[in-house]
Structure 1
Amino acid sequence: MLHRCNEQLQQFSHVNKKALDQYVNFTEQREELQKRQAELDAGDEKIKELISVLDQRKDESIERTFKGVARHFREVFSELVQGGHGHLVMMKKKDGEPADDDDEDGPREADMEGRVEKYIGVSFTGQGETQSMKQLSGGQKTVVALTLIFAIQRCDPAPFYLFDEIDAALDPQYRTAVGNMIRRLADTSNTQFITTTFRPELVKVADQIYGVTHKNRVSRVNVVSRDDALDFIEHDQSYNAE
């Protein structure tokens, strides 16, 4: 009987005798991993909630800022273009059509799918017709661009602005309107405007005028009088006309 039992036991010689200890050890590791997974899942849920809240706040901030800029855009456009009306429209991915532009200054409640990426651009609407910037002439594009800059300036003024021949494509009445607006903003908002120009309208409203000359591959900057600057511009225009 003992011999038979020993023979039967030999059939189980390949059995892992540490299996019980390993089972207990692996069970403890599994429980620890499950606990860690639960903590990570909870953290992931909190992060998703935070992202959702931040996305909603960004949407609200964008729309609040946009409405402020759009309100000033209408005001500035009517000042630059006598009898003209223009406003900005926010374009969104959700429906591909312009969002309603109401006059409420407060933010609209963003939906759950709200993301900053849903905004795809801004269109300009003038005289009741929405137009693409590609449809505008060079002067019209300049007027719209300057209107947007001045609208942003009224929302969040910068210490100074540097304009490089912004009046080159403008008609005389628009150059006069832009010059008057720059003069008014410089007097009332403690903002400095530095412009380069070959037109008389900006020169007439400038506090300080500098003439830049180039000779022997060297540029020179000198203070000039308003009369000298206007004479130079008149001569330059006459030369170009010939």
Structure 2
Amino acid sequence: LSAAAPEIERETAEDGRRLAGLEERVRGERRREAGLLSQEQALAEELTLRAERSATLDRERESLAKEHKRLCGDVAGSDAALAAITAEREPLRAEATGAESALRLLGESLETARAVLVEEDRARDHAGFSLERATQDLEILRERIIDDLDLPHADDVLSWEIRVDPRPLAAREAEIARLRERLRRVGYVGDDAVVDFERENAQQTYLREQLADVEGAAAALRDLAADLRRMMRERFDETFALVATVFAEAFAALFGGGTAQLTLTTGDTGSEPGIEIIAQPPGKRLQNLALLSGGERALTAAALLFAILKVNPVPFCLLDEVDAALDEANIIRFREQLQELAGQTQIIVVTHNRGTIEIADTLYGVSMGADGVSQVLSLRLSESLPAD
């Protein structure tokens, strides 16, 4: 028994599972049965609706058949009436065609009459305008005759003897305009006209003498300006030649060789020429100043400045950090040129370069103390250095 108990339990469990499956299947079948019953009820309701709809359609079909029969009778009557109307319309159409033709002819006649009336109105208006313009021209002509010829009545000219002028109408009109302008300028001629003429004549003579003096002074000033320009050009050419020569020497001295030249560039028409610097430092090709390095440009500018100061010395010269871009080798040649130039010009140099400071006769420095106040210090090296 103990040995058969597990087998019985397995069978019992298996039967339980089968029973649960059968119960679940029964429930499914019941749900399916309920769905089928619902469908059957819906189909029955739809069948009832279709039967009612069929009865309605039968009634409508009978009604439409009766209506069709009635409309056929109406169509037969309408055809008979249409035939009678068609028979009566032909004479009316012929009469309408004749009436339209007559109406068209009357319209054309009316348009022609209107065009003729418009042309006559236009001609009448034009004639009225011409008459009004002629009347205005006649009045203007009468006023001109009275004003220009100083006559009491314009009709008095009709009694004058007419002399034909052979000149063209344009020439005669121009002559009349010229004489009228002269009369306007002369104005009213009084008893003191001779005195006024003598006074104006004297004033005109005086003004002519003054004009001659002014023209002579202007000619003298133009000659003087030409002489000044010629003298300035000559002085400029001489100074430029000297500066160019000294510049080449100063350039070679500052660069330790090389060549440089100053050339005049051609200016535009009526403008002054410019100056171009062409430099060739040692070991480089001849090129424009703009193509040199910063130090080379600074040294070239210093050479030009030294050349100008040597040709045209000045009492003093102020140089502000011109040696900032120079190296040690160039500083030595730069200060040698400064010492040479110091014999004829007092030079004030603003610099931070020790090599330039060493050749100074007097030093001025600005220092700031702990209290933030700037102090100026001076030292005369020519007195402080011992003699050799």
User: Which residue, out of 33, 39, 61, partners 2:213?
Assistant: 39
Q: 1:154 is matched by which residue type in structure 2?
A: K
In the alignment, is residue 200 of structure 1 matched against residue 354 of structure 2?
Answer: yes
Q: Per-residue deviation at 1:185?
A: 3.0
Would the alpha carbon gap of residues 198 and 41 (structure 1) be closer, same or farther in structure 2, given more than 3 Å must change?
closer
Match status 1:191 vs 2:365:
no
Q: What is the Cα deviation at residue 208 of structure 1?
A: 4.1
Pair 1:60-2:213 in alignment:
no
Give the structure with higher Rg (CA).
2
Q: Is 1:219 the equivalent of 2:344?
A: no
Residue 356 of structure 2 aligns with an amino acid whose one-letter code is L
Task: Please show how residues 6-17 of structure 1 align to structure 2 within 5 Å.
Answer: 15-17=189-191
In the TM superposition, what whole-angstrom CA distance separates every residue of 1:152-181 from its partner, at most 9, and x where no partner exists? Answer: 111122233332322111122111110122
Higher relative contact order (CA 8 A, sep 6+): 1
Taking every aligned residue pair, what percent have the same amino acid on both sides?
29
Q: TM-score, normalised by structure 1?
A: 0.67
Query: Which residue of 1 is the match for residue 300 of structure 2?
Result: 144
Provide the rounded CA distance (Å) in 2 between the counterparts of 1:172 and 1:59.
Answer: 41
**SS in structure 2 at match of 1:86:** strand
Instruction: Supply the RMSD in Å over aligned alpha carbons.
Output: 2.7
The 8 Å contact of residues 161 and 193 in structure 1, kept in 2 or not, is answered as yes
Q: TM-score, normalised by structure 2?
A: 0.44
SS in 2 for 1:118: coil
Equivalent of residue 161 in structure 1, options 297, 317, 329: 317
Measured at CA, do residues 171 and 47 of structure 1 come closer, stay the same or move farther in structure 2, by a change above 3 Å? same
Superposed displacement of residue 142, structure 1:
0.7
* Residue 201 of structure 1, CA deviation: 2.0
Q: Cα 1:46–1:190, aligned 2, differ >3 Å: closer, same or farther?
A: closer
Aligned to 1:18: 192
Q: Structure 1: any 5+ residue segments left out of the alignment?
A: 1-10, 96-112, 227-242
Shift of 1:85: 0.5
Counterpart amino acid of 1:176? I
Quick one: distance in 1 between partners of 2:336 and 2:189? 97
Structure 1 residue 70 corresponds to structure 2 residue 226: no
By percentage of residues, which structure has more strand? 1
What is the count of residue pairs matched by the alignment?
Answer: 190
Q: Distance in 2 between matches of 1:213 and 1:75?
A: 39
SS at match of 1:149: helix
SS of aligned partner of 1:22: helix
**Structure 2 residue ranges without an equivalent (≥5):** 1-151, 153-187, 382-388
